[in-house]
Amino acid sequence: MQDADLSILNRVYEIILDRKQNYDESSYVCKLLNHRKGMNKILEKVGEESIETILAVRNEDHKEIVSESSDLIFHLLVMLAANNITLDEIAAELSARHESMKRD
């Protein structure tokens, strides 16, 4: 496996944006973005993956926590892209909070 770092978040987000523009029948992201339930389907998945993450933590199952957290973050990326919210906006918000809350 190639070295993994957080730039994967940007790479996956870019693919999701591409899926918004170019429909592909075999794409899971396209299925979510074009689901008959609309945004509700994406929100359902975010809720479901949140609960599965909580259960994995409750069960103290390290592997499951990593897996379910990844599902949750992926579906959050889909939710953000579907609402035209960029990762730069999230980074700016976290950065501003960090600046205003730091103590040293």
Ligand X SMILES: N=c1c2ncn([C@@H]3O[C@H](COP(=O)(O)OP(=O)(O)OP(=O)(O)O)[C@@H](O)[C@H]3O)c2ncn1[C@@H]1O[C@H](COP(=O)(O)O)[C@@H](O)[C@H]1O
- Using CB under 6 A, list all residues that contact ligand X: 12, 15, 19, 27-30, 71, 74
Report, in Å, the least distance between residue 58 CB and ligand X.
Answer: 18
State the CB neighbour count (10 A cutoff) for residue 32. 20
Q: How far apart are CA 78 and CA 20, in angstroms?
A: 10
Report, in Å, the least distance between residue 71 CB and ligand X.
Answer: 5
Report, in Å, the least distance between residue 44 CB and ligand X.
Answer: 7
Which two tokens mark 72? Answer: 């949750």
Nearer to ligand X, 7 or 100 (CB): 7
Nearer to ligand X, 70 or 95 (CB): 70
Burial of 46 (0-12, 13-18, 19+ CB in 10 A): middle
